Amino acid sequence: MSVQVENLEKNMAKLTIEVSAEEFEKAVQNAYLRSRGKITIPGFRKGKAPRVMIEKMYGAGIFFEDAANALIQAEYPKAADESGLEIVSQPEIDVVQIEKGKAFIFTAEVAVKPEVTLGKYKGLEVEVTPADVTEEEIAAELKREQENNSRTIDVDDRAVADGDMVTLDFEGFVDGVAFEGGKGTDYPLTIGSNSFIPGFEEQLVGAEIGVEKEVNVTFPENYHANDLAGKAAVFKCTVKAIKVKELPELDDEFAKDVSEFDTLDAYKADIEKKLKERKEAVAKREREDKAVDAVIENAQMDIPEAMIQNQIQQLMQDFIRRMQAQGLSIDQYYQFTGLDNAKIQEQMRPQALKRIQSRLVLEKIAETENIQISDEKFEEELKAMADMYKMEVEKLKEVMGDYEKEQIKKDMAVQEAVTLVAESAKVVEKKEEKAE
């Protein structure tokens, strides 16, 4: 086998791969041996017909396709390795010559890893959301915990108020005629939830238990039932029960019940601490993302379309796996959303491009800064992976090839490059956006 490399525009390359006539003949003979059991020739038992007879009856090239496929699968990886190119896409194969007694020649057009010219990547200015925790946020967390530990009690000494949970009988009429689907019995409704037609819940405020109340509403123009859209309706409603949530008092006893702390102050301090940690983690990710975005903005690179398409396919495969994990096929997803393969891929294109750009600039920074992963750090990473997979470290090493190990080291170097640009960045507090 021999390979010639032709550099094309936009970081594409064409490999011309030539396989000797002798190797091609071997591949054809192997194709014949694999296929003869499926071919019947008059006068011969099935599977016993000579190759020459099969070729005479079906044409000299009957085994060429199988032979070509076998050779391409075997020889392309060798040619790619021999070329010395850093190939970043699947090859587009084209057969140039396939004839009996001649060399088999095919081409493989591939995308090559683009060269990146870095601009400024240290000391970049980035806007980051402050990680400060407000009293309002602490109060909101306490409120949520109160709600989680609330109890429901019956109210029978007053009329309906906003926020009440009521049990309701109702029947709707349009032009004095009851309509289909407009009747409910023992229907649970929280006043203020906006789960009914606009204006319905508000008119129930002040209604008394057991006393019929008329509610007048107009169905929205875009209502799902066309025969009701835009029409005025009267609902005859009877509230049968009123319930309210009773929240526990915010005191030391509450803190003891819902946490490991003996006082409300200690519990609030813990809430503040955890909120701070969450916000700092978010701010860290935001700082990293913004810093990498700025590096990309300052860099120059010409990314081949084939590389983008390859990344889109990877994203598609990940997406399909996630759908399947949720018990949904991709075809079902398309039916539910009205999307198709082309539309999904177009939506994924910006994400695919961003992934490629990020990886390229970070690899270039790792190279420029000569970031090396020490044996100690690599061992720590392997231990973390082993713990995640619930395996012994040595067992993980056994199932991991040299290529996988090198990829892990590259990923670690990229992450260190992220840390470098993020920590060197000048943080500017993000300004609140003014409402127009």
Q: How many residues does the chain have?
A: 436
Q: In the prediction, which pLDDT does 43 show?
A: 79
- The CATH number for 166's domain is 3.10.50.40
**Structural domain contains residue 213:** yes
Q: In the prediction, which pLDDT does 433 show?
A: 53
Total domains, the chain: 2
What one-character DSSP code corresponds to residue 115?
P
* d(C-alpha 81, C-alpha 375), whole Å: 28
**Structural domain contains residue 189:** yes
- The CATH number for 70's domain is 3.30.70.1050
Confidence (pTM) = 0.72
**Structural domain contains residue 383:** no
Q: Is 29 left (phi over 0), alpha (psi -120 to 50) or beta?
A: alpha
* d(C-alpha 180, C-alpha 195), whole Å: 19
Q: In the prediction, which pLDDT does 435 show?
A: 45
**Structural domain contains residue 225:** yes
Same domain, 95 and 178: no
Q: In the prediction, which pLDDT does 398 show?
A: 86
Which phi and psi (to 5°) does residue 425 adopt? -70, 150
**Structural domain contains residue 168:** yes
Rg of the chain's alpha carbons, rounded to an integer? 35
Same domain, 13 and 104: yes
**Structural domain contains residue 287:** no
Residue type, 399: V
Q: Which residue segment(s) compose the domain that 18 sits in?
A: 2-111
CB-based contact 17:76 (threshold 8 Å): yes
Same domain, 107 and 155: no
Same domain, 100 and 190: no
User: How many other β-carbons are positioned within 10 Å of the β-carbon of residue 4?
Assistant: 12
Handedness of CA 322, 327, 330, 332 (dihedral sign): negative
What one-character DSSP code corresponds to residue 432?
P
Going by C-alpha positions, the residue among 303, 421, 410 that lies closest to residue 367 is 410
CB-based contact 263:124 (threshold 8 Å): no
Same domain, 84 and 26: yes
In the listed set 246, 270, 290, which residue is the last one of a domain according to the structure? 246
86-105: b or e for each residue (b if 16 or more CB lie within 10 Å)?
Answer: ebbbebeeeeeebeeeebbb
In the listed set 192, 224, 246, which residue is the last one of a domain according to the structure? 246
CB-based contact 187:165 (threshold 8 Å): no
Q: In the prediction, which pLDDT does 335 show?
A: 85
Same domain, 164 and 217: yes
Strand 426-429, strand 125-128: pairing: parallel
Same domain, 60 and 157: no
**Structural domain contains residue 223:** yes
Q: In the prediction, which pLDDT does 289 show?
A: 95
In the listed set 246, 276, 302, which residue is the last one of a domain according to the structure? 246
**Structural domain contains residue 145:** no
Same domain, 75 and 174: no
Tell me if residue 167 falls in helix, strand or coil.
strand
* d(C-alpha 289, C-alpha 355), whole Å: 11
Q: In the prediction, which pLDDT does 314 show?
A: 93
Same domain, 94 and 187: no
DSSP line for 392-409: -HHHHHHH--HHHHHHHH
138-150: b or e for each residue (b if 16 or more CB lie within 10 Å)?
Answer: eeebbeebbeeee
Same domain, 155 and 228: yes
Tokens, residue 182:
């407009």
Same domain, 106 and 157: no
Q: pLDDT tens string for the chain (436 positions)?
A: 899 999 998 899 999 999 999 999 999 999 999 988 888 788 787 778 888 888 888 888 999 999 999 999 999 999 999 999 999 999 999 999 999 999 999 999 999 999 999 999 999 999 998 889 999 999 999 999 999 999 999 999 999 999 999 999 999 999 999 998 899 999 999 999 988 889 999 999 999 999 999 999 999 988 888 888 899 999 999 999 999 999 999 999 999 999 999 999 999 999 999 999 999 999 999 999 999 999 999 999 999 999 999 999 999 999 999 999 999 888 888 888 888 899 999 999 999 999 999 999 999 999 999 999 999 999 999 999 999 988 898 998 888 888 899 999 999 999 999 999 999 999 887 765 544 4
Provide the CA 303 distance to its chain's centre, in angstroms. Answer: 22
CB-based contact 8:305 (threshold 8 Å): no
Tell me if residue 172 falls in helix, strand or coil.
strand
Which phi and psi (to 5°) does residue 169 adopt? -105, 135
